[in-house]
Amino acid sequence: MYDNKMKKQDKLKSFQQNASSLFELYPKDISFRKTDLVFFPVCRHNHFFVPVFDLKVPTLLILDNASLVSNFNAKYAKFCNLVQHCLGEHLKMQNHPMAMMIKNMHLHRIKIP
């Protein structure tokens, strides 16, 4: 997902292939009816953070124990927007009722001590 040489379409295709193979293992889970949170753990430059889709209170949360950054968008927005776009598009292609909710979520960072 961080490969700047890949086109957005190719990233979406890769995401869809990975998501489809995962949902084949757990076909009942794609409904998200019993799901409150969807996690996407990320390791970038030896640092972990976690975008979390809160499906109960439609928000895209960022869990990161690093100090608050002055340029929030530079650190998170590009990647999180890409994941949000890919998940939303994947669900849209599956005619999933939550596709638009995912695509319209706002990004919010959770302060962690």
Phi and psi at residue 34, to the nearest 5°? -105, 20
In sequence order, the 6+-apart residues with CB closer than 8 A to the CB of 96 are: 30, 32
Would you say residue 108 lies in a domain? Answer: yes
Residue 53 structural domain? 41-113
Would you say residue 59 lies in a domain? Answer: yes
Angstrom distance (rounded) from CA 89 to CA 106 = 16
Would you say residue 54 lies in a domain? Answer: yes
Q: What is the chain's pLDDT, residue by residue, as a tens digit (113 residues)?
A: 666 677 878 888 887 888 777 777 766 666 677 789 989 888 877 888 899 999 899 999 999 887 766 676 667 788 888 889 888 888 888 788 889 999 999 988 887 77
Would you say residue 34 lies in a domain? Answer: no
CA-CA distances (angstroms) from residue 96 to 38, 64, 88, 101?
15, 29, 9, 10
Would you say residue 45 lies in a domain? Answer: yes
Structural domain total, the chain: 1
In sequence order, the 6+-apart residues with CB closer than 8 A to the CB of 20 are: 90
